[in-house]
Amino acid sequence: MIRSRTFQLVVPALLVLALLPFGVGGYILGLLIPAFYMAVFAMSWDLLFGFAGEVNFGPSFLIGIGAYTAALLNHYYATPIPLCLAAGAFAAVIAGVVLAVPALRLTGPYFGLVTLVAVLMLQNILVLFAGITGGEIGLDLPDVLAISDTTNYYYALVFMTISGAILFGLSRSPVGLILQASGQNAVEAAALGFNVAKHKLAAFCISAFFSGLAGAMLIFYMGTVSVGTVVDIAVGVNVIIAAVLGGRRTIIGAAFGAIFLIGAGELLRPLGQLSTFVVSAVALVVILFFPGGFMGRLLQTGGRE
């Protein structure tokens, strides 16, 4: 395990990140905190796409359900944060099951469209019931995770590390292998005696759990929830770009992709409108020339793990 390349890459990177608050100011930390939550979104998406083979165009459906459940509970009933987080994660798991039902019957573009429609529906509902949900403007939350940047940073970093470890461990476990088999050839996997439906359902629930929990934590960091930050299609697109950019089927790569994407977006901010253009162009070049993504590239040079 010590000698595996993933391990050699991840541990130093985490050490640097853990020591970062001693060296840099609030600006960098404030940039990295949402990036860490985004990393969890991307890693959960990778479990569903890279392993279960389900093209989910609507990661923000799961994220949004988790975030809004937590936000509504906190805003209207002043529920304590841990309870809100649990409720958000639970609601997201239910949403994951709702999404899994069509996934077991439909394939490829059809399922992709259903997930896209799910996001659009959620967005419409939130805007229609603007009186309760705050609509486009959003809802402010009475509670926040912590005031200090450093504390928030460690919350996010620890959360990302634990989620990443669980997702990564899962993907390398026998369950991950069965998922991968069902994603690539469901009929053959079923013929080998594996319960494809059960494993895919589990993948949806796990992916939804982490997406929803991360979404709920993100809004308690920001102190506000709005359609534009957790539900919009653009949020989902960014998650997908991050995961593909970092290297699909690597889990850890998705986290690198997310941090890169947010960092690059910030560096290019002076370009204004053009920054999305440049970031997408970079992502496009990576997909065209290194389809394995950053991680795929790094792992490949040292041979297979």
Partner 1 sequence: MLALQILIDGFAISSLYALGAAGFALMFGVSGVLNLSHGAIMVVAAVIAWWVGATFGVNPYLGAVAGILAALACAFFTYGVIARPIQNSPAIPKEEKEIFVLTGTLLWGIMLQGAIAYLFTNNPKTVRPLIEGVVMILGVRTPVNEILTAVLSWLVIGLLFLLVNRTRAGKSLLAASMNPRGLTLLGFELSNIYILVWAIYGIVAGIAGVLLGAFLGVSSDNAGTLTASAFSIVVLGGLGSVSGSLMAAYVVGYLETLTAYLVAPSIRTVPVLLLLVIVVYVRPQGLLGRR
Q: Give the binding site for partner 1 (CB under 8 A).
A: 49, 53, 55, 102, 105-106, 108-110, 112-114, 116-117, 120-121, 124, 127-128, 184, 233-234, 237, 240-241, 244, 272-277, 280-281, 283-284, 287-288, 291-292
Task: Please provide residue 9's backbone torsions phi and psi, each rounded to the nearest 5 degrees.
Answer: -80, -45
Name beta bridge partners: 225: 139
Closest separation in Å from C-beta 290 to partner 1: 8
Q: Which is nearer to partner 1, 14 or 287 (CB)?
A: 287
Query: β-strand 224-225 against 139-140: which pairing, if any?
Result: antiparallel
**Quick check: 138 and 224 in contact, CB under 8 A?**
yes
Closest separation in Å from C-beta 140 to partner 1: 24
Q: Which is nearer to partner 1, 96 or 292 (CB)?
A: 292
Distances, alpha carbon 302 to alpha carbons 8, 251, 292, 296, 299, in Å:
12, 18, 14, 10, 6
Distances, alpha carbon 135 to alpha carbons 73, 106, 129, in Å:
16, 32, 7
Q: How far apart are CA 214 and CA 216, in angstroms?
A: 5
Closest separation in Å from C-beta 101 to partner 1: 9
Q: Which is nearer to partner 1, 74 or 207 (CB)?
A: 207
Closest separation in Å from C-beta 64 to partner 1: 15
Distances, alpha carbon 218 to alpha carbons 82, 93, 145, 265, in Å:
13, 17, 9, 18
Q: Which is nearer to partner 1, 17 or 116 (CB)?
A: 116
Q: Which is nearer to partner 1, 124 or 151 (CB)?
A: 124
In sequence order, the 6+-apart residues with CB closer than 8 A to the CB of 269 are 275
Closest separation in Å from C-beta 112 to partner 1: 7
